[in-house]
Structure 1
Amino acid sequence: MLSPEPPAATAQRNSLGAWLLLAALFVAYIVSFVDRMIIGLLVDSIKADLGISDTQVSLLQGLAFALFFTLAAIPLGRLIDRVHRPRAVSAGIALWSAMTVACGFATSFAGLFVARMGVGVGEAVLSPAAYSMISDSFDRRRLGLAMGVFGLGSAIGAGLAFMIGGAVVSLVAGADSVSMPLIGEVRPWQFAFIVAGLPGFLISLLFLLIRDPSHAMGARAPASSVREVREHLRRNAGFFWSVFLGVAAVNLSVLGTVNWLPAMLVRGGRLALANAGFLSGAMLIAGGLIGMIGFGALMDRLSGGTPASRMRFCGWSVSIAVLAAAAFPLVESLWLMAALFIAFFSAAAGVVSAAPSVLQQLSPSGMRATVAALYVFIINLVGIGFGPSVTAALGDALFPGGDGIRYAMAIVAPAGYAIGAALFFVAARHAARSTPEM
């Protein structure tokens, strides 16, 4: 039976220290998504220089990143349940920043693929550590909002990735190469990777100064054994797998569209690359604010913090957004497209704030990072690993040439949302049956 761990004394939670920790994690998440997503604006430049196809680009966007990001997630989650979590985050940030800079030195598809794998390994540390630290720092009445604030970093980071890429494109418009001190001549897309990767080293140093919240609140619960984690997941398999696979389906829809959003705008002839980056970034940030902050706060108010209510909220939000998911790639008006995309993305953003908070609520303290790592493993194996490639392969096969990618997006986006909505309602029923107080 699912049994939420009794919350720590309220006086120990929601403190100024908890909000400062959340702010640091929020900034780290922004940086991680800038480094992860900036490749989406550089698609056509990379294709031209390396002589590769949309499907190969999708492997750089998805499989290369997801391969070690997902494989490393579970062992890293086990490790994070045992070590000083801010120091682990610091090491992860330093690694992914170094590998993002390494992307800027790649001169072949293979070299860029390996560097993107390294970015994935570094970023696999952040989410499990962040989810468990946030859960240790906030009581359940504020947990949805806190997870929403952290999750907002993904939308702002993805948005800034496109905006930074757009600014770089504008800065070096018409140039064949860029001269950098101590480095020499690099291509404009390589310059964008180097610029994106450097700030992470400063953020990494910040986390060396942060205290683990378990130390501030007293003794940390001992890490659960593998057998205990496995038994907890087995007893509640219907609930956990409905949440894992529901979020994975939504993630596939979102990453199968967001990674191709600037390319869709450029190939349709509606915008120049730099302007496509700015518009894409603004839409992601707007949708993230609405979904992660607005929906997170609304869920906390309407659900009373109960997992069943949170999952029903996710189910209805994603169901309503199915129409927007199908329509936004096809409409001709930029303003209508932007409004529909924001509606589509905000529903997914709401899910990102709800699902981790539910999983943390219903997992004992000693296994929170491990459960979070399994969640990260599954949603990203499906979303990052297959989302960009499913869209690209569908476009190459059924709608080759021109702006055919938008027709592929119009199929992938609503399909994933429909599957996700159904699974969230299933998860709500499991949660309601398993916990009488819900």
Structure 2
Amino acid sequence: MIDNNRYPTSIRAWVTVGILLVAYVLSFIDRQILNLLVGPIRADLGISDTQMSLLMGLSFAIFYTVAGIPLGRIADSKSRRGLIAWGVAFWSLMTAACGLAQQYWHFILCRIGVGAGEAALSPAAYSLIADSFPADRRATAISVYAMGIYLGAGMAFLLGGIVVTWANAQGPMTLPVLGIVRPWQLIFLVLGAVGLMFCLVLLAIKEPTRKGVGAGVAVPLKEVGAYLLTIRKAVLCHNFGFACLSFASYGASAWIPTFFIRTHGLTPGEVGIYYGSLVMVAGSTGIVFGGRLADYMARRGYRDANMRVGLLAAVLTLLCNAVYLVDNMPLLWAIMFFNVFTVAMPFGVAPAAIQEIMPNAMRGQASAIYLFTITLIGLGIGPTAVAMFTDFVFQDDMAVRYSIFIVASVITVGSIILLWMGLKPYRAARDTLENWSEQQGQPG
């Protein structure tokens, strides 16, 4: 008889995390590469900062969020590995299609496709990881997976900077069938091809057995909604508190390369190498540190450890936002390192917190709702909010530093308030899950 509550071996579990991490890295490279290519894309398509921000954020975010909830439902009952493979293939094709865009609306449609494809990854990945690790190791495991955010963003800048420098030196290239291809278009074509090849690697994932009552069974949406209503205060404070941090993070990171180029005179290649390297190191260590700290606090008896780490990160991030007003470059880079570190800390513990307050059969859907909220608010609005301050409040491209500082600081204060308010409801939500599981006759 198979023990459904038995976890995979440590090696098997970490192999799964490693493969999912690479998938997440690829998704963030595809998602963030636009931030380094503002200049050439604006020039070729004849668009403003605000229009560019819609490519970075809203066009991607709307369909990422809309597709995420039904795909999260599939992740709760069907093959999670298969769902991820189809998602990677689709978003890679759409990334390659971005490289063929000739007009602004072509690009918008392709970015919508990238968003819809990437929506398949994280709800299924969170579910796979939650079924591969016991609760006291889960925040660390999910944080390692979430390193993909910063490894991917950093590689987008680092490799993008190198490729942009090389491609600009070569000028437009003529490819078979496709004809003349501009340097920025070539980058999207290469990324799409890499993603399609990676689909074969996903076959190495072996799905763990689902743990808990009703695992693998499609729970009616009405039942999911009813359960969420019983813990609504915790869910609202959690989702919107971390969404505010996502807003600050996406809003700033979308324009930081442009900030360095416009305010400090760096070239895109220099930004890619310097800032990309910093993001990879500071972001990756920050997100893993957040997970390790949460697991340590959990072992010390804190039942709201994941929320507390998020709150701590928000306070530290608010202090580090002063970096956008600094002109001394050595000091700026030092503060920027800590800024990226603290911004990264919450994004492993936030999804881990969802796993702790939801029954297994509802985790994918709850994760999709969380991703819906943070992506629509963070990626969907953050970059555009900064751009609109630059275009309509300051009416000066050179004021982007002040736009980032104001938007990031105000929204981070909102995050601090919401996460503080959510500590007590979150502890109550954990009690609710334990009581629910006892009524079902099995641990959740």
Q: TM-score range by the shorter chain?
A: over 0.9
Q: Which residue of structure 1 aligns with residue 370 of structure 2?
A: 375
Equivalent residue of 1:107, what SS? coil
Supply the distance in 1 between the matched residues of 2:345 and 2:142 (Cα, whole angstroms): 10
Is the partner of 2:327 in helix, strand or coil? Answer: coil
Paired AA for residue 355 in structure 1: A
Partner of 1:342: 337
Please give the alpha-carbon distance, in whole angstroms, between the structure 2 residues aligned to 1:375 and 1:218: 22
2: CA distance, partners of 1:217 / 1:21: 20
- The amino acid that maps onto 2:24 is Y
Q: CA 1:220/1:274 → structure 2, altered by over 3 Å: closer, same or farther?
A: same
For 1:38, give the aligned amino acid: I
Does the CA contact (< 8 Å) of 2:95 and 2:189 recur in 1? yes
Task: Choose 22-31 or 221-230, whichever is displaced more.
Answer: 221-230
Instruction: Pick from 310, 313, 323 the counterpart of residue 314 of structure 1.
Output: 310
1:415 aligned partner = 410
1:73 equivalent in structure 2: 68
SS of the equivalent of 2:304 reads: helix
* Alignment equivalent of 2:231, drawn from 230, 236, 261: 236
Residue 220 (structure 1) shift: 4.2
2:29 aligned with 1:34, yes or no? yes
Q: Residue deviations 1:293-342, cap 9 Å, x none?
A: 122112211232754122122212211220212x1111112232222223
Partner of 1:3: none
**TM-score between both structures, scaled by the size of structure 1:** 0.93
Residue among 279, 282, 285 paired with 2:274: 279
Question: Distance between the aligned counterparts of 1:337 and 1:272, measured in 2?
Answer: 17
Q: Does 1:185 align with 2:170?
A: no
Distance 1:436 1:361 in 2: 10
Q: Is this contact kept in 1: 2:8–2:208, CA < 8 A?
A: no
Matched residues in 1 for 2:150 and 2:392: separation? Answer: 30
Residues 187 and 435 of structure 1: is their aligned pair in 2 closer, same or farther, counting only changes over 3 Å?
closer
Contact between 1:248 and 1:383, CA under 8 Å: does it hold in 2? yes
AA partner of residue 313 (structure 1): V
Task: Report SS of the residue matched to 1:137.
Answer: coil
Deviates more, 1:142-151 or 1:199-208: 199-208
Q: Over residues 3-56 of structure 1, what are the superposed CA-to-partner deviations in whole Å (9 max), with x where a residue is unaligned? A: xxxx975x6246211111100000000000000000100001000011000000
Of 99-108 and 207-216, deviating more is: 207-216
* 1:18-417 aligned within 5 A: 18-214=13-209, 220-304=215-299, 306-325=302-321, 327-417=322-412
**Letter paired with 2:194:** P
Q: Distance in 1 between matches of 2:131 and 2:232?
A: 24
Contact kept in structure 2, 1:13 and 1:139, CA below 8 Å: no
Structure 1 393/363 Cα, relative in aligned 2: closer, same or farther at 3 Å?
Answer: same
Shift of residue 216, structure 1, vs aligned partner: 11
* Contact persistence 2:242–2:310 (CA under 8 A): no
RMSD (Å) for aligned C-alpha atoms? 2.1
Alpha carbons 1:54, 1:392 under 8 Å: kept: yes
Give how far 1:350 is off. 1.5
TM, length-normalised to structure 2: 0.92
Distance 2:220 2:85 in 1: 25
SS in 2 for 1:287: helix
Q: Distance in 1 between matches of 2:424 and 2:177?
A: 60
Give the partner amino acid of 2:296. R
Structure 1 distance, partners of 2:109, 2:152, is 22
Counterparts of 1:32 and 1:119 in 2: how far apart (Å)? 9
Taking every aligned residue pair, what percent have the same amino acid on both sides? 35
SS of match in other structure, 1:185: strand
* Closer, same or farther: CA 170–432 of 1 in aligned 2, 3 Å: same
CA distance in 1, matches of 2:380, 2:426: 29
Higher mean displacement: 174-183 or 26-35: 174-183
Q: Pick which of 144-153 and 420-429 moved more.
A: 420-429
Q: Secondary structure at the match of 1:97?
A: helix
Asked whether the equivalents of residues 292 and 346 of structure 1 are also in contact (C-alpha less than 8 Å), the reply is yes
The amino acid of 1:429's aligned partner reads K
In structure 2, what residue type is equivalent to 1:413? A
Identify if the C-alpha distance between structure 1 residues 155 and 398 changes in structure 2 by more than 3 Å, giving closer, same or farther.
Answer: same
User: Aligned residues, how many?
Assistant: 430
Q: Which runs of 5+ in 1 are unaligned?
A: 1-6
- Structure 1 residue runs of 4 or more that deviate by more than 3 Å after TM superposition: 215-221, 433-438
Deviates more, 1:250-259 or 1:348-357: 348-357
Partners of 1:385 and 1:30 in 2: how far apart?
20
The one-letter code sitting in structure 2 at the alignment partner of 1:295 is: G
Query: Per the alignment, in what secondary structure is the counterpart of residue 403 of structure 1?
Result: helix
Give the CA deviation at 1:227. Answer: 1.6
Distance 1:307 1:342 in 2: 30
